[in-house]
Structure 1
Amino acid sequence: MELALADVPEEHHGPILAAHQASLAAAASTASENRAIAQTLAAVIKPRKPDPFLGNIDAEECLNFIDSQAEYFAAVRLNLEEWVRFTALNFTEGAKSWWRDSGLTTNTSWEDFKNAFTAYFTPLDSANMARQLLDRLTQNKSSVADYTRQFRRLLRLIPTMDADTALYIFLSGLEEDTRKE
């Protein structure tokens, strides 16, 4: 914080500087207290561990799992280089078999791992199926919030859809009265 005293009479500089220093000290103390509170909360509040992944070939289940892993690791501040290792520990059944046969290692980058994982556990036609469902989705008698939730759930399964097309489809599915608003 910069303090400009050029236009202030010199006899007032001392009290102004003292008040400014007190203000800075209070701000530093508050920031320090906030950091201490955040550290205490982080030590006490433990995020729920993600459920294990069984290995079902299901686009939504696959994306939810990988996103849950990333959210958990970020919350517990796990080093990015460890994410693959700890994700592999959360595999059971078919997912464990895939991991062993995949040729990936715990040294694989998170991005490469995520791409291989989603490519395998997402059905080949999931984007096309989601697109067809999205094209037929209408608000009907449901609330805008419910329609929006269903729309976003399907849109998530179509990573190649651009924003303009998504907006057009979304607006087309709204009730006519709602669309006019």
Structure 2
Amino acid sequence: MDPNIYALVLDTLNRATSQDAEVLKPAEKKLQEWEIEPGFYSVLLDVLSNHSININVRWLAVMCFKNGVDRYWRRNAPNAISEEEKVKLREGLLTTNILSEPVAQIATQQAVLISKIARFDCPGNWPSLVPELLGALKAPQPLVQHRSLLIFHHIVKALASKRLAGDRRTFQESC
């Protein structure tokens, strides 16, 4: 990823957390424009994974990512996220930085984000999700164990809420 793009997105996210409407509105508009740009969600993942960045900026990054999943994760969605980027995002969502999130509110939003993706992709396009989470439960760090359980909880809720018979059967078989 180009460091200039990362810096530009980070600066825009910073401005979008401003209390000043003159700073906030243009930043929000720019973020909405970038929603359909290839690589935008990879940058958001990098921002929300970086624990040294301001909490409000990371919160906004996870919320933008979560909203983008709702709008652009389906293959048939207009301006859908590419399959190549989805693979990178799925890999990045279960890294140590995500699983060791120190802020509980951000960790909860990350768990919801992962569960939204799991609802679309698990187990077909993301068969490693549950085994990786089960592996993380055996980690020596209590925080990683707790975050893994939180993510697992949200994934089970999301998958259990599927209504189509085929999806329900797949969920029951995977349990």
TM-score by length of 1: 0.30
Which protein has the bigger helix share? 2
Over alpha carbons, which structure has the higher Rg? 1
Highest RCO, 1 vs 2 (Cα 8 Å, sep ≥ 6): 1
TM-score by length of 2: 0.31
